[in-house]
Each structure stands twice: as structure tokens, then as C-alpha cells.
Amino acid sequence: MNDPNKYFILENVWKQMTPEIQEEVIQFWKTNNVPLTRTEAETRSHQIVFIARNIKHAIIGVCSVKRIFIKNMNNYFYYFRTMVDPLCRRMGLAVRFTLETRNYFNQLFIDKKDCSCIGMYIVTESELLNLNIRQAVWPRTGFVFIGFNQKGQQMRVFYFQDADI
């Protein structure tokens, strides 16, 4: 695949979740064995920022954010999560989700439309990424290493432009 963008489109659904899209997302999570109760899935569906669809218009990935307070950093961040269909994981979709979400919320911050968080926070659950991507600052996304959690997973943040601590 030379250009993965030919195989999927991203749809921004932040604060625009419809019942129809919500059902599609919940079915996507069920199909991919994401361990959520119906109530948890409904709640999380309203945290989705982008949906990726293939050329047949089926959902192949979603990303979401949840506003959290990180005590050690004494600030609020958007906790970023992503789920990509296992058959689509070599298309660069997770990086694209990260960049698009980062840019979207960074622009809202710059425009003073959403200053409720000073940046984004990621926990790297992929064992492959935790073992192989060891730069203090990820070159493709600008996320900065801030430590390991109790499971040994990398924790990283990206500060929005001109954010104060």
C-alpha cells in the first residue's frame, strides 16, 4: 500500500455523535472484542473525536479523548485512546488519529474555544511500541516521554501551543 489515505477517510464527530453512528461504533467495539458494557460503550462513544471508514464506509478505527486531571502535573489533559481493527493496523491509522486529534484540539486551544486542558496524554499499550520506540520526543507526533506507569507502559504528553503550567 503506497498511499493508505486511498483506503480510508477520517470523519470528525466530536460533540456530533448521532444514534446511528453510536450504534455503528458500539458494533465495531463488539466485533473487535473491546471489553465494554453497553453503558460504558454509550458513554465512551460521546468521547470520540475521529472515526476512520474504509472505502465500503465501514468503521475500521476510532479515537477518543477523556478530560482527566493528572495529579503529578497539576493540570488537566485530554487522555487519548485509539482502537483500530487488527486487519488495518499497518496503514498508519493510529499515527494519523494522533496527529489529527492533536492538531484539532491544539487549534481549539489557540483560538480560545477550548482551554479546559493544556495538552494531550497518551499511555502506550502496544508492547511493540514500548519496546521499539524509545526516543524521548516522538519525532512524528511531538509527544514527550514523562515516565512509565505501573504496567511498564510509556506515558507521554503533548502540550498545546503557548500552554502554561
Cell numbers linked to 11: 470523519
pLDDT of 60 reads 97
pLDDT at 120: 98
Q: How many CB atoms lie within 10 A of CB 30?
A: 12
Q: How far apart are CA 72 and CA 119, in angstroms?
A: 14
Provide the pLDDT for residue 53: 97
Domains of the chain, start order: 4-159 (3.40.630.30)
Indicate whether 134 pLDDT > 90.
Answer: no
- pLDDT (tens digit per residue) in 2-47: 555 578 999 999 999 999 999 999 999 999 999 999 999 999 999 9
Q: How far apart are CA 154 and CA 161, in angstroms?
A: 23
pLDDT score recorded for residue 5: 58
User: Does the structure show a pLDDT above 70 at 113?
Assistant: yes
In the sheet with 8-12, reading across from the earlier edge strand, the strands are 8-12, 48-54, 59-70, 75-84, 119-123, 154-159, 144-148
Q: What is the C-alpha separation between 36 and 26, in angstroms, rounded?
A: 9
pLDDT for residue 3: 54
Mean pLDDT within 65-93: 95
For residue 1, name the pLDDT band (cuts at 50, 70, 90): very low
